[in-house]
Amino acid sequence: MPNDKWIVPEEICAVLETLAEPDYQKFASSLLPGVPEVLGVRLPRLRKLAKRIVREDWRGFLKQSKGRSFEEKMLRGMVIGYAPSTLEERLAYVEAFLPEIDNWSTCDSFCSGLKFAREEPERVWEFLRPYLRSQEEFTVRFAVVMLLFYFVQPDGIGRVLRALDGVKHEGYYARMAVAWALSVCYTVCPAETMAYFKTCALDDFTFHKALQKITESRQVGAAEKAVIRAMKRKGQK
């Protein structure tokens, strides 16, 4: 990565190409079927570049970059998370970025960088609520992953479970996010989550994927896993 000159937004594509690794490109592409323009830049290098952009002209970058490659989209999301801005300005950038999310990796990486959610949980909760009912699969996944990263806590588990129960999108990645979130809820609040499972409105696919993820967790004991496996609905293997 060049260190002796200012990186202007128009040069980002060329910089990313210099950081790409052909062998890693093959590996990354195999994890992202159907995602075009995967260059093969490792995440630590993207994070380093994002932090550099934040020190330079991050607003100019977000205005001029187009997210043409998978990595450029990832970079845009990282910059939004790292940038020093007010809460409302950052939420505006988050909202503008949501239509660019078209795969699970960009979604989950973006969410992991939005750590400001811990500082303003009530404002972020209200911001997320409409997206749980979105018609867009990855917008729903974004909202659900934000819940599981930042809101699964004993003192607020009830509203998280109610929110997850209200997600009705039929997309695979939206439903898998709900299942993942419920497995996290169980590891943090097993009694409350078990009670929820007995009355929930989950479709069979999401319900059983949630059970599966719980049984795959190293934080759940063997006896608990046996109980979870016995909860499968009739007619399901």
* In the chain, domain spans: 1-84, 117-232
Specify the pLDDT at position 137. Answer: 97
Specify the pLDDT at position 7. Answer: 65
Specify the pLDDT at position 237. Answer: 52
* SS3 annotation, the chain: CCCCCCCCHHHHHHHHHHHCCHHHHHHHHHHCCCCCCCCCCCHHHHHHHHHHHHHCCHHHHHHHCCCCCHHHHHHHHHHHHHCCCCHHHHHHHHHHHHHHCCCHHHHHHHHHCCHHHHCCHHHHHHHHHHHHHCCCHHHHHHHHHHHHHHCCCHHHHHHHHHHHHCCCCCCHHHHHHHHHHHHHHHHHCHHHHHHHHHHCCCCHHHHHHHHHHHHHCCCCCHHHHHHHHCCCCCCCC
pTM for the full model? 0.90
Specify the pLDDT at position 4. Answer: 45
pLDDT less than 50: residues of the chain: 1-2, 4
CATH number for the domain whose boundaries are 117-232: 1.25.40
